[in-house]
Structure 1
Amino acid sequence: MNLNELREQDLYDNPTPRVPVCLVLDTSGSMMGEPIDELNKGVALFFKSIKDDPIAKYAAEISIINFGGAIANKVLDFTTVEKQKVPTLEAHGLTPMGSAITMALDILERRKEEYSEAGVEYFQPWLVIMTDGIPTDSIEEVIQRTVKLVNNRKLTVFPIGIGDEADMDILSKFSPGNAPAKLKDLDFTALFEWLSQSVIDTSKSMAGESINLKDPSTWMELDL
């Protein structure tokens, strides 16, 4: 079986309701050095925490889109974390955030269709956007598309700024009613601990049930 066939077969072998999470991560040149190192540590912790949970490891499906260089890149496609290998991200190039979010929405829609075809329930998808700068491509169309999904309760967006150069005004446009957060002191470890616990809590709830997320003050600047 190829990778796509394995992904499809997993939906029939494992009927656990899914928690789809797409990480859209800035890996542009400005993330070189400590930022990309800390991001990689956080991503590795995120996967380990979910794999260590007896329910979440069958429920959580993670996709990673990174944007650095001239184009966005699909690093990981959706499938359960127990079948995934943690990637090592490298920083270089520009910040094509618009194309990255477009790609993320496309694969989210495709995966939702696959859930429906297989009769697998799923929670509202999460889109986690992290950036330390300003997009170098067009974002107007994808902002409209994202906002429509959010307003129709088809998507939850977590926009997160990294460092002082992140454009929080642009990030805010992707998530009406949910202000963007700013990462405190490059503490990706605390951020991904919070995110993994939120995914774990969601995996143990009922589809459609309201989830109270953990306090984000461990990783979020509070004086924006």
Structure 2
Amino acid sequence: MALNIGADDLVENPTPRVPVTLCLDTSGSMMGEKIRELVEGVNLFYNAIDEDDDAHDAAEVSIVEFNSAASLIQDFASIERLARIDVINATGGTALGEGVNLALDTLEKRKSTYSNAGVLYYQPWLVLMTDGQPNGSSAELERAVQRVTDLVSQTKLTVFPIGIGSDADMSVLARFSPNRPPLRLRGLSFREFFEWLSKSVSRVSRSTPGDTFKLDLDGLAGWAEL
């Protein structure tokens, strides 16, 4: 069951937020070392944000998993309210479109909560990670691609499509990223990726909401196949 955090936290801490949604493939092909390394990487991400003064107050994370269906593991919350993950079970198919649509629905809901509380927020981030080919609803997939590309074109979303392993369908991931090619994780470099992500969140939190943020492209070499 996902932890649901309302507006109380926003009243206590009115710092502009950096909403980060992790949309993660937990299908059967992720079983074993992949899913274990992914869980370790997510927990490292939490810990790195917790230890960074700027990111600590600004970052909010939600996690959506997709296998044969999509579910919300963690609703948006600040770092002190995020429980570390013990285990994620890998099972079933790859309902990628369903996962992305649930992630976007959750994000839209949180943006409304920010607005109602008078809290500013930075351009949201969507991290999409998969190791295979989508086999859920084709209509849901097309709707997800359209929603993401619309938001990206309106500069209302930054998306990071990342393939895991040689079987990841990079052509599908590329459809979610009109401005830059998707990246393939080098081996199982989940820890290196999430370390890079935490540093990127920290850099964003030190900028002014609305400013254009430039990614640390040099840092990609630490975890991506370039």
Q: TM-score range by the shorter chain?
A: over 0.9
CA distance in 1, matches of 2:213, 2:156: 15
> Residue 43 of structure 2 aligns with which residue?
44
Query: TM-score, length-normalised on structure 2?
Result: 0.94
Letter in 2 for 1:71: A
**Which residue type is aligned with residue 20 of structure 1?**
P
Per the TM alignment, residue 51 of structure 1 is displaced from its structure 2 partner at its CA by: 0.5
TM-score after normalising by structure 1: 0.94
- 1:144-187: per-residue Cα shift (whole Å, max 9, x none)? 11111111111110000000000000000011011100000111
Q: In structure 1, the residue corresponding to 2:123 is in which secondary structure?
A: coil
**Aligned position for 1:101:** 100
How far, CA to CA, are the matches of 1:39 and 1:74 in structure 2? Answer: 17
- The farther-off stretch of 153-162 and 88-97 is 88-97
The equivalent residue for 1:17 is 16
Query: Given the alignment of the two structures, is residue 54 of structure 1 paired with residue 92 of structure 2, yes or no?
Result: no
Residue number in structure 2 paired with 1:76: 74
1:96 is displaced (CA, Å) by 0.7
Identity percentage over the alignment?
51
Q: Which residue of 1 aligns with 2:91?
A: 92
Runs (5+) with no aligned partner, structure 2: none
Counterparts of 1:148 and 1:55 in 2: how far apart (Å)?
Answer: 30
Q: Provide the C-alpha distance between the structure 1 equivalents of 2:193 and 2:38, rounded to a whole number of angstroms.
A: 10
- Residue 194 of structure 1 aligns with an amino acid whose one-letter code is W
In 2, Cα distance between equivalents of 1:47 and 1:7: 20
Which residues of structure 1 form unaligned runs of 5+?
Answer: none
Distance in structure 1 (CA, Å) of the matches to 2:43 and 2:147: 30
Give the alignment partner of residue 217 of structure 1, picking from 204, 211, 221. 221
Q: Which amino acid aligns with 1:155?
A: L
Deviation string for 1:29-76 (max 9, x for gaps)?
0011111111111001000000111221111000000112x2111000
Which contiguous aligned blocks of 4+ residues in structure 1 show a shift greater than 6 angstroms?
none
**Cα separation, 2, equivalents of 1:90 and 1:195:** 24
Q: Secondary structure at the match of 1:165?
A: coil
Taking the aligned partners of 2:215 and 2:171, their CA distance within structure 1 comes to 24
What's the secondary structure of 2:210's corresponding residue?
A: coil
**Counterpart amino acid of 1:179?**
P
1:202, 1:20 → 2: CA distance?
11
* Contact kept? 1:72, 1:99, Cα under 8 Å: yes
Q: Which residue of 2 aligns with 1:119?
A: 118
